[in-house]
A and B are shown apart, each in its own frame.
Chain A
Amino acid sequence: MSAALEVRDLGFELPGKGEGGRGRRLVEGVSFTVGKGETLVLLGRSGSGKTTTLKLINRLLEPTAGEVLVAGQRASDLDATRLRRRIGYVIQEIGLFPHFAVERNIGLVPSLEGWPPARIADRVREMLALVGLDADTFGARYPHELSGGQRQRVGVARALAADPPLLLLDEPFGALDPITRVELQREFRALESRLGKGMVFVTHDVREGLLLGTRIGLMHEGRLVFVGTPEEFRQSEHPEVRAFMAAA
């Protein structure tokens, strides 16, 4: 059985001329595997290449080196839009469509994929229940009528709607107040084990990473300098890991 995600020697270089005629490298030599039911947390400072790595996986940016396999298939062999419909994507700003009601936001990928309306409606209710929102209360509301925490739940429900094998989350709880944040982290943890999907979760919050990750990958200056379980992370002697643990 193939892993949900396999990344081999991934690199991304900005076009343009740096030293020796090469552009600036934002990501270099990144390799990791994410199995089903596993959450890899990508931890790192701002500008360490975490978000860039995510965008290389769903080809919002095209890798300049290495390859990405999603559920065993090479991402570069697929059409980019088809690839993205098989990968759930949650970003910090959420990016809910403000002119779509909650139902339509969640049902978006299924409708792009041409599911029959009745099946979409069922799926939307199921997803709302999964993230703890009552379908009758929230389905017809618009994003501006929701609280920050509710919006982020809808964002997660939307990413899961087409049942993708892989989920990419870019600081999904970053903009929430601390109380809501802890609440959502707890719920997300419960979801992780129920869903059995591969997840890559980007954050710069060590505590969040240790709570939610089955493994932690630490990025530093475009490279993955450490990968290990939360326990291994706590005990690592790597200077960048120590710097993060000291901040926790």
Chain B
Amino acid sequence: MSLLAFYARNSQEVVGLLWQHVYLVLISTGVAILIGVPLGIALTRRPGWRGPVLGLANIFQTIPSLALFGFLIPLPFLGGIGARTAIVALVLYALLPIVRNTYTGIAGVDPAVREAGRGMGMTDGQLLRLVELPLGLGVILAGVRVATVIGVGTATIAAAIGAGGLGVYIFRGVATVDNTLILAGALPAALMAIAADGLLGVAERRLGWRRT
């Protein structure tokens, strides 16, 4: 059976899984931004936290994703079967690039510019809002882009704990040794990753400030 014929026959299910996949990635990346950007900013204010926080985020990154999903299942509140557990795991994966790039983006602002801002009477909040975040935005968005692309890929494994998404076809295809089925899940996931990469790349170039 060809891929197109498969999609034609299962169009409703395909759209549903596609939407589930987008939902998993959007929510988890969104939550990771809400946690990661303030955390990255905090690291620039408290250099002592940098080692422990980035180290911890690094450790999450090294846990194989399937194992992390497994570890989370027995946990109360965060765990269990379904989308919630998958989102927790995806947030943990997305944190490192976002925290690290927020820190790097802000720490990379020219010290002379920062000193001029402080010397002219900006409060710490004004310095952050008017100078450090705008100048670091390109690097921060690059972190979000990496996190999103990783998220699209990792979210395929979320099907293993019943969170749905395009991984459903991949797991089903692997179980039944059906390459068409595997492709039915893998191809849109790959296209989604490319699209996210492209879109966020455009945002990065337009919003990020660069010396020309």
Nearest CB in chain A: distance from B134 CB, A: 5
Nearest CB in chain B: distance from A154 CB, A: 12
CA gap between A112 and B126 in the complex, in Å: 9
Nearest CB in chain B: distance from A84 CB, A: 4
Interface string of B124-142 (1 = CB under 8 A from A): 0010001100110000000
The answer to whether A99 and B116 have CB atoms under 8 Å apart is no
Main secondary structure of the interface of B (DSSP, over half): helix
The answer to whether B120 and A94 have CB atoms under 8 Å apart is no
Which chain A residues border B48 with CB–CB below 8 Å? Answer: none
CA gap between A86 and B118 in the complex, in Å: 13
Nearest CB in chain B: distance from A111 CB, A: 9
Judge whether A83 is part of the interface by a CB distance below 8 angstroms: yes
Which chain A residues border B131 with CB–CB below 8 Å? Answer: 97
Interface size class of B (residues with CB under 8 A): 20 to 34
Judge whether B11 is part of the interface by a CB distance below 8 angstroms: no
The answer to whether B135 and A98 have CB atoms under 8 Å apart is yes
CA gap between A60 and B15 in the complex, in Å: 58
Nearest CB in chain A: distance from B137 CB, A: 9
Judge whether A96 is part of the interface by a CB distance below 8 angstroms: yes
Asked if A95 meets B116 with Cβ closer than 8 Å, knowing A144-B211, A144-B212, the reply is: yes
Asked if A97 meets B123 with Cβ closer than 8 Å, knowing A60-B118, A84-B118, A144-B212, the reply is: no
Asked if A112 meets B112 with Cβ closer than 8 Å, knowing A98-B135, A98-B209, A144-B212, the reply is: no
Cross-chain contact of B121 among A82, A91, A93, A94 (Cβ < 8 A): A82
Looking across the interface, which residue of chain B has its beta carbon closest to that of A92? B112
Which chain B residues border A83 with CB–CB below 8 Å? Answer: 121
Judge whether B115 is part of the interface by a CB distance below 8 angstroms: yes
The answer to whether A89 and B209 have CB atoms under 8 Å apart is no
Looking across the interface, which residue of chain A has its beta carbon closest to that of B137? A99
Which chain B residues border A125 with CB–CB below 8 Å? Answer: none
29 CB contacts below 8 A, A to B, read: A60-B115, A81-B121, A81-B122, A85-B121, A89-B116, A89-B120, A91-B112, A91-B115, A91-B116, A93-B110, A93-B112, A94-B112, A95-B112, A95-B115, A95-B116, A96-B113, A96-B116, A97-B113, A98-B113, A98-B211, A99-B134, A99-B135, A99-B209, A108-B120, A112-B120, A112-B121, A112-B122, A112-B126, A159-B120
Instruction: Please give me the 10 A-B residue pairs with the lowest Cβ-Cβ distance, nearest first.
Output: A95-B116, A93-B112, A85-B121, A84-B121, A89-B119, A95-B112, A99-B209, A81-B121, A95-B113, A81-B123
